[in-house]
Amino acid sequence: MSDMRYTTKGSGGRWAVVLGLAFIAALGISVLVLWPGMKPTEGGNPAGFPLPLPQEPTARQAYRAAQEAARAWQPDAQPATLAAHWRQTRGRWPSQATWTVQFYSPATGRMAVFGVETARARLLQETLTPYPLPTWAEERWRVDSPQALEVWWAGGGADFLARHPNAEVAIQLGPAGPADPRPVWTVTAIAGNQVHTLSISGVDGQRQ
């Protein structure tokens, strides 16, 4: 698959602004707050999986830890985004995945971002949001992060990383649209001005 430049999908306007700012905030917090504690891997890929990115904790494991903390924060907390970011240090990938999970409280109009590392969640940020955040339906989520990454890997990710071994990789689970709560994965690899991205259903694992 050839390199592709990233373009934001959606109905534009408020949806693009809200979801874009939410993801950027979570990703920035993840990199700035959680990254310094990560250690590079000593080599070796997970058995039976060619992708060199760490798979533990998985998104579902991270979500369970964050959900408990979010319900303590606000009982009506609903998931808005679930994201991770991988970047090499001294030519090595980190030894584990670090996740940021955004929750939105409709009753208070507030958003909270939790970081999850080694299955432990901590509150990173809490703030009012200018608009209600779209959320995804937890009960419809079937596809965990290893399965989503495998689809991305087979759908051009392997070729992209082979040509751009120093690329950074980000994965996010969010709603399909402002009024569509179906969970959808977006996996993106960036190397300079080259971008490869793929959307995958969080319900059945099909490419979107």
Residue 129 CB contacts under 8 Å (≥ 6 apart), including other chains: 18, 22, 104, 109, 110, 111
Closest CA to 86 of 118, 129, 50, 41: 41
Q: Which residue has the higher pLDDT, 16 or 168?
A: 168
Q: By three-state DSSP, how is residue 172 classified?
A: strand
Separation of alpha carbons 92 and 166, rounded Å: 9
Would you state the structure tokens that stand for residue 48, as one six-digit string?
């039976």
Alpha helix locations (H) across the chain?
A: 13-29, 59-73, 145-152, 158-163
User: Which residue is it, tokens 């969970």?
Assistant: 183
> 69-112 pLDDT, tens per residue?
999 999 999 999 999 999 888 778 888 889 999 999 999 999 99
pLDDT, tens digit, for every residue of 133-181? 999 999 999 999 999 999 999 999 999 999 998 999 999 999 999 999 9
Full-model pTM:
0.77
Is the pLDDT score of 14 beyond 80? no
Using CA atoms in the order 47, 147, 119, 116, what is the torsion angle rounded to 10 degrees?
130
Task: Please answer whether residues 1 and 160 qualify as being in contact, where contact means their C-beta atoms are separated by less than 8 angstroms.
Answer: yes
User: In the predicted model, what is the mean pLDDT of the chain?
Assistant: 81
pLDDT at position 50, please? Answer: 59
Percent of the chain residues topping a pLDDT of 70: 76
